[in-house]
Amino acid sequence: MKLTVNRPVEIEAVAIKCELPVRYCEEDIPNDFPLRRGDVWIGIIYLDTGVIRDWPTGRSGKMCMKVCDEGTYSLMDASGKVLAERVNEYVPSCIPGEWGDYVNFYIDATGKIANWSMACNPESVQECFFPDD
């Protein structure tokens, strides 16, 4: 007799990779906005600090984009392995934004998202990526 038993497992998540469509051209973010690649913004954000990896030092920015249900959000470990993923879904509540449609980042010159800690904490990440656990 084979049985499937679900047991709690601790994982060490360190970052969320956000792949966000630029739906409204330069109305969303300028073409030269850091980490924009054509019609997609791709950023890896460290959970504990809210710092965006590879953000250019000395440059601040503001991103208020209407993403709706077109973004991809990947929870990653230290090696870059994807632990859980939300594809083509509304903006998860652990990402700063409004109404599940928008991503709102206020980024300082060190690449830190100023409003990150208000939305992203262990409980909100757990609920976003593992709602039934």
Task: Report how far apart, in Å, the C-alpha atoms of 130 and of each of 1, 2, 85, 105, 106 are.
Answer: 28, 25, 10, 24, 27
Task: Report how far apart, in Å, the C-alpha atoms of 39 and of each of 19, 42, 71 are.
Answer: 10, 10, 12
* Rounded Cα–Cα distance for residues 8 and 10 (Å): 7
Confidence of residue 98 (pLDDT cuts 50, 70, 90): confident
Span 106-133, average pLDDT? 91
Q: Between these two residues, 41 and 100, which has the higher pLDDT value?
A: 41
Confidence of residue 41 (pLDDT cuts 50, 70, 90): very high
Span 27-36, average pLDDT? 92
Say what the pTM is.
Answer: 0.90
* Most confident by average pLDDT, 26-35, 46-55, 92-101: 46-55
Nearest to 106 by CA among 98, 94, 96, 119: 96
pLDDT at 133: 59
* Rounded Cα–Cα distance for residues 66 and 36 (Å): 15
Q: How many CA atoms lie within 13 A of 113 on its CB side?
A: 27
Span 63-77, average pLDDT? 93
pLDDT at 4: 80
- Whether the pLDDT of residue 131 is over 90: the answer is no
- Whether the pLDDT of residue 20 is over 70: the answer is yes
CB 34 within 8 A of CB 81: no
Three-state secondary structure call for residue 71: strand
pLDDT at 60: 96
